[in-house]
Homo-oligomer: A and B are copies of this chain.
Amino acid sequence: MNDSVFVGELSWKEYEALVADGQRVLFLPVGALEQHGHHLCMDVDVLLPTAVSQRVAQRIGGLVLPALPYGYKSQQKSGGGNHFPGTTSLDGATLSHTVLDIIRELGRHGVRRLVLMNGHYENAMFLVEGIDLGLRELRYAGIDDFRVVLLSYWDFVKDPQVIAQLYPDGFLGWDIEHGGVFETSLMLALYPQRVDMSRVVDHPPATFPPYDLYPIDPSRTPAPGTLSSARGASREKGELILEVCVEGIAKAVGEAFENAP
């Protein structure tokens, strides 16, 4: 028997057997193609939630669907802005309808437990909408026991001791962790060949006014595209983050579906 957790690597007969009773948890990583500074590749937001999904799936006997490789438009305060070459984003409705379509199909397969593992901050509300549209359609089709968990893996790094280890000089918020210590450390732990620490541009954390201006003023984003410096990143930090996320998510997902009303 093929023991891959990736749905794409299974034959349909293997998949059919695995999802038949509706109890198995499927993970859909959702990412983006987005600039992440001079030192990181552009598919960070796909690689990381896929890696986390894979590890959680291995622990809890889940399966991982092919990741969505394009996401919602990068926003200045969380991703630098959508004006960079390379950043390639979808309209909100396109992303929401992709999620809707996948939920409709999973419902047909007999799946009843889905985790959307978000890797790109800006996706979140359009995933919410896709889930709502998907569950609505399933209800019209007579399926009312489909459950979805939506999460962004970084929300599981909350332990102050862990935060202190990652940011010995103080944590400045997830908002500006675009291409910074957090993502870079994870990439060093998982895909070191796609990180070039020699190109990290050390700059002060980006600061923004409490509003958004459109079209954005590109000069407000630090030139390299990162919102905080990745200089403090390390493989060890990445391994710590990964373990914290995988353990936390594995536990949370189990509870979520067990306790769902």
A240 is an interface residue with CB less than 8 A from chain B: no
**Tally of this chain's copies:** 6
Within the complex, which residue of B33, B38, B249 is in contact with A11, where a contact is CB–CB below 8 Å?
B38
Set of chain B residues within 8 Å of A11, measured between Cβ atoms:
35-42, 196, 199
Say yes or no: A260 contacts B105, CB within 8 Å. no
Give, as a whole number of angstroms, the nearest-CB distance from A24 to chain B: 12
Q: How far is the CB of A95 from chain B (nearest CB, A)?
A: 9
Contact B92 A65 (CB under 8 A): no
Q: From B16, B70, B135, B213, give the contact of A214 (CB < 8 A).
A: B135
Question: With A and B bound together, what is the CA distance between A40 and B65 in angstroms?
Answer: 16
A236 at the A/B interface (Cβ < 8 Å)?
no
- Does A246 count as interface, using CB distance less than 8 angstroms? no
B94, B147, B215: the one within 8 Å of A94 (CB): B94
Using Cβ atoms and an 8 Å threshold, which residues of chain B touch A235? none
Given contacts A33-B65, A210-B155, A219-B261, contact A96 B86 (CB under 8 A): no
Q: How far is B138's CA from A139's CA once the two chains are assembled, in angstroms?
A: 11
Query: Given A12-B225, A42-B7, A97-B97, A260–B133 Cβ distance below 8 Å?
Result: no
In the bound complex, do residue A109 and residue B128 qualify as a contact, i.e. CB atoms below 8 Å apart? no
**A8 touches which one: B69, B135, B212, B225 (CB < 8 A)?**
B69
Closest to A8 in B: B43
Known contacts A124-B125, A256-B213; is-contact A88 B65 (Cβ 8 Å): yes
Residues 1-36 of A, flagged 1 when their CB comes within 8 A of B and 0 if not, give: 010000111111101100100000000000001011
State the CA gap A261–B196 with chains docked (Å).
33
Q: A42-B7, A91-B101, A97-B94 are in contact. Are A211 and B12 (CB under 8 A)?
A: no
The interface of chain A, by Cβ under 8 A from chain B, is 2, 7-13, 15-16, 19, 33, 35-43, 46, 65-70, 72-73, 75, 84-94, 96-98, 101-102, 105-106, 108-110, 122, 124-126, 128-129, 131-133, 135, 137, 139-141, 147-151, 155-156, 158, 194, 196, 199, 209-215, 217-219, 225, 248-249, 252-253, 255-256, 259-261
**Apart from A11-B35, A209-B256: 17 A-B pairs, beta carbons within 8 A:** A8-B41, A9-B41, A33-B65, A33-B66, A46-B66, A69-B69, A73-B132, A85-B108, A85-B109, A92-B93, A93-B96, A125-B126, A132-B214, A140-B140, A149-B213, A150-B212, A151-B210
